[in-house]
Amino acid sequence: MTIREVGEKLGLEPLTTVPEKVVTGVYISDMVSDVIANAKAGNVLVTIQVHNNVIAAANLVDVAGIVVTRGRRPADEMLALAGKAGVPVFATAMDTWQVATRLFEAGIR
């Protein structure tokens, strides 16, 4: 499944351009150091964090995309950085648990 298909299936709001990156799993964390140490390339990163370091970590790990939960909105600067790095960012009013449940139901582990 691609990150675009995940966004559509979960009804996520795309905040950046969404390329056809393949999703290989999911990683949930609000700590940048944890993402760098443990997320895998192709993971969907689910977080509430909305600062530039999230993009740096996501780019370093090569995640498929970022889902920002609980209605939080990244600043334009973060979205511009994500666009330059090619990291798609989505927003949703759902909480992290709801997103995790829907990803699991979609077959993403």
- Evaluated on CA atoms 20, 25, 29, 32, the torsion sign reads negative
Number of structural domains in the chain: 1
pTM > 0.95: yes or no: yes
Range of the domain at 20: 3-105
Q: How many CA atoms lie within 13 A of 92 on its CB side?
A: 22
The predicted-structure confidence for 31-50, as pLDDT tens digits, reads as follows: 999 999 999 999 999 999 99
Give me the CATH number covering residue 61.
3.40.1390.20
pLDDT in tens, 19-28: 999 999 999 9
- Phi/psi at 91 (nearest 5 deg)? -125, 155
